[in-house]
Amino acid sequence: MSKARGYSLWLVPDNSNRQILDEFISNVSQTYKTPCFNSHLTLIGEILEPEASVVAKTETLVAKLSPLYANLKTIGQSNHFFMSLYLIAEQNKKLMVANEFAREIFMRQGDAPFFPHLSLAYGLSSKDAKLSIVSEFSSHLPLSVRLDNLQIMRSEGEAKDWYSIKTFCL
């Protein structure tokens, strides 16, 4: 599936890591003709509520959070469009608790278990391309990323159609 629905809450890397990650994602996108997107770790996605409700609930969530850290040590891959190639984040306590808070606030306790990751490519199916990218990015690992902003994204449709609604400093 190459289309998303609703709203998503993105944890956004600090400026220096965001620049490195965004540039890498953009290069992969240009080289392999895959969708381009900004680097992020999705805290919770497919929020199918009115925008005003999403903003209000996110304000409640942000009041409970402080900057988070993601330790990225390995690269994973799958056949899922939005997880074709990604950096696996260690499941540290603060990150997992942030997801629990989001699930409670948005009444999503029944969601699949949280799998924190930071995508490097969407819709990349070529095994050779994946191996090449893994080889190229591995020199950046391990990577510790400070996640100091939470962004509400309107993530309806294809990645090119997504846009930011509001950004909060953690």
Tokens of 89: 């984040």
Cis, peptide link before residue 13, omega less than 30° from 0: no
- How many independent structural domains does the chain possess? 1
Instruction: Please report, for the domain that includes residue 13, its CATH number.
Output: 3.90.1140.10
CA 148 to chain CA centroid, Å, is 13
Would residue 2 count as lying in a domain? no
The answer to whether residue 15 is domain-embedded is yes
pLDDT-based confidence at residue 3 (cuts at 50, 70, 90): confident
- Is the sign of the CA dihedral 42, 44, 50, 55 positive or negative? negative
Beta strand 68-77 with 41-47 is unpaired
1 pLDDT higher than 60:
no
pTM listed for this prediction = 0.94
**Structural domain includes residue 1:** no
Judge whether 155 lies within some domain: yes
Q: For residue 85, is it within any domain? A: yes
Residue 67 lies in a domain: yes
Per-residue pLDDT tens over the stretch 60-116: 999 999 999 999 999 999 999 999 999 999 999 999 999 999 999 999 999 999 999
What does the alpha-carbon distance between residue 86 and residue 42 come to, in Å, rounded to a whole number? Answer: 12
Look at residue 99 and tell me if it is in a domain.
Answer: yes
